Structure 1
Amino acid sequence: MSDETTDSLAQLNARLLAFARERNWEQFHSPKNLAMALIAECAELVEHFQWLSEAQSQQLSEQKREQVALEMADILIYLIRAAERLDIDLIEAANRKIAINETRYPAEKVYGDARRAGEYDDPAQ
């Protein structure tokens, strides 16, 4: 990951922390509350795609695209706040998870096939 990306995430984290502290909202930002807010925002994102075809989901109007962008921003904000409260380095955790997935889903075994990891060894699948 580039220093620019890390710096950008760190800067966003600092801005969000200042925003919460200026409003005395850290008292409400427990990991539990942030996780609940995060899932609610994820549901709001999903609502924008409900009933759309695959093609329609890739061809959003500018207005719908902006609405989706703001829902994604809410998700990112709550995720960053939860990571800050739990002292988790999101970049490091994401890199660890990618390494795990590279092992669980070797390209030569799963290329073009989107089953769950355990289904590749199950002959019934």
Structure 2
Amino acid sequence: MTSGGDAGVGGLTEALRRFADERDWGQFHTPKNLAMALAGEVGELLAELQWLTPEESATVMADPEAGGRVRAEIGDVMIYLVRLADVLGIDLVEAATDKLADSARRYPVERARGSAAKAPDA
């Protein structure tokens, strides 16, 4: 697998597809299995932050050991998310951009600034 951040989501998608294909793992990479694996990895990320204070969680990356674990779990989350989107034929950047536009509509700055209130269903 290639390394570095300059490959972008498309490069990561290709690398993960190749990685799975080389191992004949496509048979296991059903949307259900990938979503379950993604949820498991998110749970592992949560476990790294669970008992930290808000202040400790904001500075977790300053601790080389804890920060390394958080970074690894975020990497796992990203891998499963990208692989799931690929299997389902979803462009992640387009999906996120569409969701951001919808959120901007539902949470206009003048009403939402500084508020954590949930928007009414729209």
What is the TM-score with the length of structure 2 in the denominator?
Answer: 0.89
> Retained in 2: the 8 A contact 1:45–1:71?
yes
| Paired letter, 1:36 | M
TM-aligned CA deviation for residue 7 of structure 1: 5.4
What is the CA RMSD across the aligned residues, in angstroms? 1.6
Q: CA 1:110/1:78 → structure 2, altered by over 3 Å: closer, same or farther?
A: same
Cα gap change, 1:31 to 1:6, in 2 (>3 Å): farther
What pairs with 1:1-125 in structure 2 (closer than 5 Å)? 8-60=8-60, 61-118=63-120
Contact 1:6 1:91 in 2 (8 A): no
Letter in 2 for 1:40: G
The CA distance in 1 between the partners of 2:72 and 2:7, in whole Å, is: 22
Task: Report the 3-state secondary structure (helix = DSSP H, G, I; strand = E; otherwise coil) of the residue aligned with 1:117.
Answer: coil
How far 1:118 moved relative to its partner?
A: 2.1
Q: Deviations over 1:14-34 (max 9, x none)?
A: 110010011110100000000
Q: String of CA shifts for 1:68-97, please: whole Å, max 9, x gaps.
A: 011001101001111111100000111000
> Which SS does the other structure have where 2:69 is aligned?
helix
- Give the 3 Å change call, closer, same or farther, for CA 12–100 of structure 1 in structure 2: same
Alpha-carbon offset, residue 115 of structure 1:
1.3
TM-score, normalised relative to structure 1: 0.87
Distance (whole Å) between structure 1 residues aligned to residue 6 and residue 64 of structure 2: 29
The CA deviation at 1:6 is 9.3
**C-alpha deviation, 1:59, in angstroms:** 1.8
1:19-52: CA deviation from partner (whole Å, max 9, x where unpaired):
0011110100000000000000000000011111
Give every structure 1 segment of 4 or more consecutive aligned residues whose post-TM-superposition deviation is greater than 2 Å: none
Task: Give aligned-pair identity as a percent.
Answer: 43
> When the two structures are aligned, how many residues end up with a matched partner?
115
Tell me what 1:123 maps to. Answer: none
